[in-house]
Amino acid sequence: MITPSLQLGWHEGIEIVLVSPRNPLNIGAAARAMANFGFEHLTVVAPYDPHWHEARSAIGAESQLQNATQAKSLAEAVAGCTLVVGTGTLTYRKPEQRVVPLPALEQLIQPELRSGGRVALVFGPEKHGLTREDLSWCNVLLEIPTDPHQPSMNLGQAVAVCLYELSSRAFAAPVGPPVATAVQAPEATAQCAHALSGHLDLLAGVIEETMAASDYSPRTMQAANRHDLRLLLRRLAPSERDTRRILGLFRRILWRLERNRQRK
């Protein structure tokens, strides 16, 4: 099967997310890399420096920097995304989600963008990268191959490497009318769209309430259960429709549990 190339304007469906960056110059360098490859949407999560909008390193990327969104948490930053891609190296890390090599990034996001989804590329802080907790909001971990003797990469460079790889493969795709073995109706495509990250968080919250109401585990295990639940839902990658159905199911169970408790 020959997959059709990405359509014009596909950059619009991708959000670059920087988690807790410390140096405004690195934020500016990331914005400049975005401008180099035609990406516009930048979100900065809990930045260390309140004056990051004024980074002098964003040469030619003033629009990306000035129009960037600031979020209080990673959950807030990716709430409207259907595919969240964490980035990093496997050195000193035992990933709990599927690992995708950098050359496979374009193939990973193509179906998501074509189904009307939105993709977040998430980069961690300069000192240690994304934490285990950060990655629990990610569907996959994108591995940036580096030499084991120097696994750490500058934030701006990491963004540039990923966006170059993505853009070069997208532009190298065959030009011409899409060719596929089967044609899906728009309704079928919409049904296959993954759930928004924020809706998965909503579902996780209701499941957690149900677990607490049923005395599933001790209170001391709640934080660990919450972490594992976030990972599980993102590994399962349910559609938006299935997420609504599961949410309704657990709300009904929770209502029953609370009703029986009141009767006692």
**What pLDDT does 194 receive?**
92
CA distance 234 to 92: 23
- Over residues 68-105, the pLDDT tens digits come to 999 999 999 999 999 999 998 887 778 899 999 999 99
Counting the structural domains of the chain, the total is 2
pTM: 0.85
Token pair 């044609």 is found at: 183
CA distance 156 to 161: 9
Q: 100 and 204 share a domain?
A: no
In the structure encoding, which two tokens stand for residue 11, read together?
A: 């950059």
Give the rounded distance of the alpha carbon of 70 from its chain centre: 16
Confidence of residue 176 (pLDDT cuts 50, 70, 90): very low
CA distance 66 to 26: 15
Residue 34 belongs to some domain of the structure: yes
Domain of 244? 189-263
Residue 203 belongs to some domain of the structure: yes
Q: 25 and 138 share a domain?
A: yes
In the structure encoding, which two tokens stand for residue 5, read together?
A: 């190339």
The CB-based long-range contact list for 178-187 (8 Å cut-off, 24+ gap) reads 178/4, 178/5, 179/2, 179/4, 180/1, 180/2, 180/3, 180/4, 181/1
Residue 157 belongs to some domain of the structure: yes
Q: 95 and 48 share a domain?
A: yes
Residue 180 belongs to some domain of the structure: no
